[in-house]
Amino acid sequence: MQIEFVNHASVVIDTGTCRILCDPWIIGRAFDDGWALLSESRFQPDDFGRITHIWFSHEHSDHFHIPSLKSIPQEHLQNITVLYQQTRDKKIVEYCRKLGFADVRELRQGCWETLAPDVELYCKAQEDGWGSADSWLCVKTPDATILNLNDSDVVLAEDAEEIAAVAGKVDVLLTQFSYASWQGNVDDVAGRLAYVKEKLEEVQLQTNTVKADYLIPFASFVWFCHRDNFYLNHDASRIDNVRDYIATETVAEPIVMYPGDVWQPGTEHDSESAIERYVADYAVVGSKDPGSFSSDKPVAIDELQAACVSFQAKLAKHAPPRALRSYIARLQCDEDHRNGNYPRWHRALRLALAAIFPRVPDTTIFLNDHEQAFRFGLTTGLHAVEAGKGECDIHVTSGSLLYAFKYLFGGQSLAINGRFQEGRPGGHFSFFRLFKLSFRINEGIVPGFSTR
């Protein structure tokens, strides 16, 4: 058994009979140009030729990274089996089948499965505050047990204890060590430092509960790479400090790995060399001037409003057909509407959405690049309003708002990449609750809705 560190949250677990590549992100950026890899990958497209399986923990673009997958040569795709948790929507497995992988195998939730005569897997989803179906993986062989929590939301003792009961003796734990989303406005340094402390305490809880012999901190080797979010880099956890915390506050020995490092559990590893290289990479990021980053081109208001209508239509598409038929019939008798400005189908859409989401309040958005406030609601759409910047829930560029409307997962991507500022206390909650519904639809886990 040996572990090769690829980058960020990606490792190769080589059992001798299988070489399982987890969450490959080896090139490019993620989350609408909001994240970049801290260090350059040594793993190259031709290296997929020695991989037998690829496991994806979840759909986030730093784990299921489409440009990295498209870089795989066709001759290697045909020899790789994809492993993914069973989901309702089947979106990931169907996409992988279309790419041309040799096979796509869905892992039953919460069940041990045999991958090879000497390799067993256990995969289970761990729902977070968004309803995201992130999952963790336990790989058990006669030589060692590897537990990959990636950025699963394991923050409660009972959750960690449940995982420990399933995994048994854990030799190596891999887990996230820093924040991976917006953490306050530019001036909220205290809030970010408090969260960093909280995150390390989660690492301590996970490690000590499963009683891991070794801990590989990972899934945080990124930097916030846009002028809108660059400030978040300053207070994020650094691996040198994390290594010291693990050594003093957990039962595990820290193993810090740099892209390309290979380690066999039970043997010595030169973490200091990896840390020195990461410190140099942190210095490179810290020396950057965010003011020199290219700025996004403003999106025209009519394009934004059209994208908003399309977003509403995607939500309504998943309404029970009977509700849609009912409101379309009601619309046909609506004389006021017949003389209005909206096309009939859009009025029907708004009525249907009003029936589905009657209790979700509107939010107010200040578009920085237009210097204009807008009101957005699931039923009312996007309209300019007279409001001061301090009265708005969030401040954001039109390009980021367009991305949130274009994709069902777009709102969550904005929360993760942190390319916004909160306009008033609690404003970001008011804004993002309007996108939780779309993300749950995207994951196929909204009760009473269909994603097929």
Q: What is the pLDDT of residues 328-366, one digit of tens each?
A: 455 444 444 444 445 555 666 666 666 655 567 899 999
Residue 347 near residue 330, CB atoms below 8 Å? no
Mean pLDDT (whole number) for 97-106: 97
Which DSSP state fits 189?
H
For the stretch 280-319, pLDDT in tens is 999 999 999 999 998 889 999 999 999 999 998 888 777 5
CA–CA dist 85, 66 (Å, integer): 18
Q: What is the mean pLDDT of residues 186-202?
A: 97
pLDDT of residue 360: 72
- The pLDDT assigned to 269 comes to 97
Amino acid letter for position 273:
S
Average pLDDT for 254-279: 98
Which residue would you say has higher pLDDT here, 13 or 127? Answer: 13
Contact 433, 51 (CB under 8 A): no
Out of 186-195, 373-382, 392-401, which region has the weakest mean confidence (pLDDT)? 373-382
Strands (DSSP E) contained in 210-305 are: 214-218, 222-224, 253-254, 262-263
Residues 424-438, mean pLDDT to the nearest whole number: 91
How high is the mean pLDDT of the chain?
Answer: 90
Report pTM.
0.90
Domains and CATH numbers, the chain: 2-292 (3.60.15.10), 301-443 (no CATH)
- Residue 393 pLDDT greater than 60, yes or no: yes
Averaged pLDDT, 81-92: 92
Residue 327 clears pLDDT 60, i.e. is over it? no
Average pLDDT of the residues in 2-29: 98
Strands 111-116 and 119-125, by their bridges, are: antiparallel
Q: What is the mean pLDDT of residues 388-413?
A: 96
